[in-house]
């Protein structure tokens, strides 16, 4: 039966009344299929542009949009301190009640705004996101009045989306890739600071809270307690008690089940591995609960007004819970926000992170708490006696102070002063540093590099190598000075600051403060946008001097360029950044377009790894207090959304260093423009360092994301020249001589293919990459039959050659024996000729002959 093949339509109207006016009715005479849903959402987005924003977070398998309606008083911006809330419905396509009631909720919130004080206050203080259908494909195949069936439950690939998320108890490789809908939700969840959420289902009548499963995956009856079990129980009770019947706990008669107070722990009901609510809690700041709204999954149309009336108050009351607990801001002593600060409640083993404005929200039940906030490079701050009530949230702001270090060098360093600085730190911190030069500039100045590692001078197996390069343009000096300060910070805080110690222990870091010392010596302090000192001593722009991927700049290379190229081939760099000035943006490959015209117009030039380049660029931008705002410099007209840009989309350059790194080596490099002024005054350096310090550290950590491992043969010997390919990406990397590899990737599921001359290729499917540390995947390659045959032929050839040599040696030795015997006989014969008498005694003659024997 098709969706609307119903013999009788009950055209009912739910009239919404407020104290001030009668609102327009919500039509509940039908279910909204994909087309009618899309039309309705667009109509409301058009009718209420001041409080709504309609967007899609991705597409389903059958290319339907996953629509989200955002409802808040300033939909075009993210307001500091305003919590984010979301409803997701119709994850199972045949569970249709949640889909319809959140459609009604969208209408109710929009139509009531400005008329109802409660709704207006909620919209003004909350950033609300509503997704009516996570599985629009399944809904299109579901059957109305099917109360207990499964038709339409799964997506178009026949996958249950609520078993498709990464699971805390399942570390085994996946047998299939994650679904498009799941990937879209994962990206949406992890890229936003949601505080509270609900996932709306059907087929029972209960509020279900984490955890949804256990390590043993028992079918039922095993309570799986999360660290926040008490607040999850209260959140579930808020919905249940506000629902017309859920709080009675009767469950559904067809299943003979009951739930005290209408709530249950998920795993105690039944085990759900790969569920969305656990993923929210474990991988983001968001606390999510699952609501089962009706015993019939897809009831007939005339049930919808009753379902709306049953759930309306509960839906509103649950959104209001986003404001409970503790919230506030984490800032430094200058009032600058500190994102990614960790908020720990003593006695609860679960933390949340501060968002981009330093704002945080921590849901808690009523009580008295102690909170500790930590952030990289700052002293921890603890506040005790924090009182939380059930009525309104408690605001606690944290101001963090920098961890103490030695006197910072906030001054410009000449080339000689730079050398002395590096030598001083290399001497004082010899256990973690090594100072070396990769070559000389045109004028003979060393191109110094400071290596910082727990084993300097040694490449440790499996440890990735990272580099920073600055001052490529001699008059762009911010990077030069911030890298000197970074060297100082890393050295002085090793062993004292946990994150610094871990970074140095697990990463081999190379820092080149200046690639163009000759240009620097000609530049002058205070230069805002000039060119004096930009080029090297041969008046060459070093960022136009590298071999181009389309071979458009054939020419002899500058000494500095040659030195860097040689350096790149000597070390297995994985990630890098080139620090510049003149803008405030993180710029990623490609830097040039595909046009043969070297002066082509700007156009987005997408490399095969565009997604990971965007991700690492965003890491720097978001960790910078201003870059992520996308503001343009006073002398520029450009603006950069989120503070990042594709290089060629900004302007195209040929012969840039970041493209060369990506195309010719294993290294992924971006270019970071650290500020609008090229050569700022020394008095500005302190502020510049404070703005970039956290971002510089955070960017280094990105070298540990993606996939890593070893490629060896069956005997455990590293395979030379092994190529690691990500299926679907036209960019390979090469394993090192020790068989190591590192492959940067964004979270997702991948197939990895490794090949090497003389070996059978190996494909590993369903490699799941998370947002955390790189997953290790090792490869064992088997020599091909042709290679083994060739090896056998080589062995036969060698043995045959050796036999020939031995035979020839024996022949030569035999000839020598014969020759020597002939010589001795001739000598004997001479002794018998006149005037020499012949001896009758032959003993001497016999000994003479014996001397020739071997």
CA dihedral 438, 439, 445, 449 (to 10 degrees): 0
Kind of pairing between the strands at 204-209 and 381-388:
unpaired
Helices (H) and strands (E) in the chain, counts: 20, 34
Q: Which two tokens stand for residue 711?
A: 């490629």
C-alpha radius of gyration, the chain, whole number: 36
- Compute the CA torsion angle 362, 365, 366, 368 (nearest 10 deg): -60
Rounded CA-CA distance 372/386 in Å is 11
Are 99 and 90 in contact by the 8 Å Cβ rule? The answer is yes
Catalytic pick among 140, 288, 292, 669: 292
Give SS3 for 435: strand
Q: Say if residues 605 and 594 touch (Cβ distance below 8 Å).
A: yes
In the sheet with 762-769, reading across from the earlier edge strand, the strands are 733-734, 723-726, 748-755, 762-769
| Chain Cα centroid distance, residue 674 | 22
Q: Are the beta carbons of 712 and 720 closer than 8 angstroms? A: no
3-class SS string, 196-240: EEEEEECCEEEEEECCCCCCCCCCCCCCCCCCCHHHHHHHHHHHH
Active site residue 292: yes
For residue 93, CA distances in Å to 103, 200, 837 come to 15, 11, 126
- CA 389, CA 453: separation in Å to the nearest integer? 49
Q: For residues 338 and 98, is the Cβ–Cβ distance under 8 A? A: no
Whose tokens are 């607990």? That residue is 325
Tokens of 464: 């990735």
On whether the CB atoms of residues 487 and 432 are closer than 8 A, the answer is no
> Is 673 tagged catalytic?
yes
**Dihedral sign from CA coordinates of 636, 575, 591, 604:** negative
d(CA 835, CA 389) in angstroms, rounded, equals 138
Please tell me whether the peptide bond between 52 and the residue prior to it is cis, using omega within 30 degrees of 0. Answer: no
Tell me how far apart the alpha carbons of residues 207 and 314 are, in angstroms, rounded to a whole number: 11
Which residues on adjacent β-strands are paired with residue 386?
369
Whole-number Å distance between alpha carbons of 194 and 198:
11
Residue with tokens 């209960």: 206
Quick check: 301 and 209 in contact, CB under 8 A?
no
Burial 64-96 (b: 16+ CB within 10 A, else e): bbbbbbbbbbebeeeeeebbbbbbbbbbbbbbb
Question: Widest CA span of the chain, in angstroms?
Answer: 156
Q: Which residue is catalytic, options 481, 673, 691, 702?
A: 673
Q: 221-249 burial by CB neighbour count: b if 16+ within 10 A, else e?
A: ebebebbbbebbbbbbbbbbbbbeebbeb
In DSSP notation, 90-127 reads -SSTT--HHHHHHHHHHHHHHHHTTT-HHHHHHHHH-E
DSSP letter string, 358-421: SEEEE---SEEEEEEEE-TTB--EEEEEEEE-SSS-EE--EEE-BPP-S----S---HHHHHHH
37: helix, strand or coil: helix
Residues 6+ apart with CB under 8 A from 576: 466, 467, 468, 469, 661, 667, 668, 669, 670
Catalytic (active-site) positions = 292, 673
């Amino acid at each position: 039966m098709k969706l609307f093949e119903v013999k009788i339509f009950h055209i009912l109207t739910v009239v919404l009344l407020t104290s001030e006016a009668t609102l327009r009715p919500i039509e509940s005479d039908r279910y909204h299929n994909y087309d009618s849903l899309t039309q309705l959402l667009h109509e409301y987005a058009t009718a209420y542009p001041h409080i709504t924003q309609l967007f899609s977070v991705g597409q389903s398998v059958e290319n339907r949009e996953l629509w989200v309606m955002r409802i808040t008083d300033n939909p075009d911006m993210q307001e500091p301190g305003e919590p984010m809330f979301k409803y997701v419905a119709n994850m199972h396509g045949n569970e249709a009640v949640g889909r319809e009631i959140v459609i009604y909720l969208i209408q109710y919130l929009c139509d009531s705004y400005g008329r109802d004080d409660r709704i207006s206050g909620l919209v003004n203080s909350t950033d609300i996101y509503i997704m009516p259908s996570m599985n629009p494909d399944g809904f299109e195949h579901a059957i109305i009045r099917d109360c207990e069936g499964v038709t339409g439950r799964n997506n178009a690939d026949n996958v249950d989306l609520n078993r498709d998320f990464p699971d805390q108890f399942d570390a085994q490789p996946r047998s299939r890739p994650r679904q498009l809908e799941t990937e879209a939700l994962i990206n949406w969840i992890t890229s936003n600071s949601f505080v509270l959420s609900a996932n709306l289902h059907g087929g029972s009548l209960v509020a279900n809270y984490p955890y949804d499963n256990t390590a043993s995956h028992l079918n039922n009856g095993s309570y799986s307690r999360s660290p926040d079990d008490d607040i999850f129980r209260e959140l579930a009770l808020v919905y249940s008690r506000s629902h017309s019947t859920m709080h009675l706990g009767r469950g559904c008669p067809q299943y003979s089940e009951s739930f005290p107070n209408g709530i249950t722990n998920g795993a105690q009901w039944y085990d759900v591995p790969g569920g969305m609510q656990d993923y929210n809690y474990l991988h983001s700041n968001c606390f999510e609960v699952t609501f089962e709204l009706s015993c019939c999954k897809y009831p007939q149309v005339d049930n919808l007004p009753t379902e709306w009336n049953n759930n309306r108050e509960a839906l509103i009351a649950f959104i209001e819970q986003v404001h409970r607990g503790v919230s506030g801001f984490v800032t430094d002593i200058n009032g600058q926000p500190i994102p990614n600060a960790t908020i720990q409640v003593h006695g609860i083993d679960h933390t949340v992170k501060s968002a981009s404005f330093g704002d945080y929200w921590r849901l808690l039940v009523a009580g008295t708490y102690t909170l500790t906030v930590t952030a990289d490079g700052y002293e921890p701050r603890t506040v005790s006696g924090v009182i939380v009530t059930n009525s309104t949230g408690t605001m606690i702001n944290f101001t963090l102070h920098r961890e103490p270090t030695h006197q910072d060098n906030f001054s410009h360093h000449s080339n000689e002063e730079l050398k002395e600085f590096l030598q001083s730190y290399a001497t004082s911190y010899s256990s973690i540093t090594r100072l070396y030069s990769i070559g000389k500039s045109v004028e003979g100045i060393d191109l110094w590099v400071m290596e910082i590692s727990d084993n300097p001078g040694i490449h440790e197996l499996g440890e990735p190598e990272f580099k920073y390069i600055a001052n490529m343009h001699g008059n762009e000096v911010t990077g030069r000075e911030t890298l000197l300060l970074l060297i100082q910070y890393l050295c002085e805080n090793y062993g004292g600051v946990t994150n610094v110690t871990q970074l140095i222990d697990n990463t081999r870091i190379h820092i080149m403060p200046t690639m163009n010392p000759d240009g620097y010596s000609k530049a002058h302090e205070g230069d805002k946008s000039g060119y004096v000192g930009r080029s090297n001593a041969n008046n060459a722009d070093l960022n136009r001097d590298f071999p181009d991927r389309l071979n458009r700049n054939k020419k002899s290379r500058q000494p500095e360029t040659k030195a860097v190229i040689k350096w790149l081939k000597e070390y297995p760099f994985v990630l890098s950044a080139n620090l510049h000035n003149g803008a405030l943006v993180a710029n990623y490959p490609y830097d040039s377009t595909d046009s043969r015209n070297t002066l082509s117009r700007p156009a987005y030039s997408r490399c095969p790894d565009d997604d990971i380049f965007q991700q690492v660029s965003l890491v720097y931008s978001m960790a910078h207090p201003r870059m992520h705002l996308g503001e343009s410099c006073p002398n520029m007209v450009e603006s950069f959304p989120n503070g990042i840009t594709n290089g060629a989309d900004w302007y195209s350059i040929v012969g840039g260093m970041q493209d060369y790194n990506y195309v010719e080596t294993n290294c992924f490099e971006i270019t970071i423009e650290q500020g609008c002024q090229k050569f700022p005054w020394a008095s500005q350096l302190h502020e510049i360092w404070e703005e970039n310090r956290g971002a510089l550290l955070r960017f280094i950590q990105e070298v540990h994301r993606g996939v890593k491992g070893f490629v060896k043969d069956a005997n455990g010997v590293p395979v030379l020249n092994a190529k690691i390919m990500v299926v679907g990406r036209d960019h390979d990397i090469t394993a090192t001589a020790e068989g190591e590899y590192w492959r940067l990737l964004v979270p997702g599921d991948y197939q990895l293919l490794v090949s090497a001359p003389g070996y059978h290729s190996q494909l590993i499917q369903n490699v799941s990459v998370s947002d955390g540390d790189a997953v290790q995947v090792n490869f064992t390659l088997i020599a091909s039959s042709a290679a083994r045959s060739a090896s056998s032929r080589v062995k036969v050839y060698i043995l045959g050659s050796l036999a020939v040599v031995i035979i020839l040696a024996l022949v030569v030795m035999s000839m020598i024996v014969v020759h020597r015997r002939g010589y001795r006989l001739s000598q004997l014969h001479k002794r018998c000729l006149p005037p020499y008498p012949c001896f009758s005694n032959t003993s001497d003659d016999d000994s003479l002959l014996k001397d020739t024997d071997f």
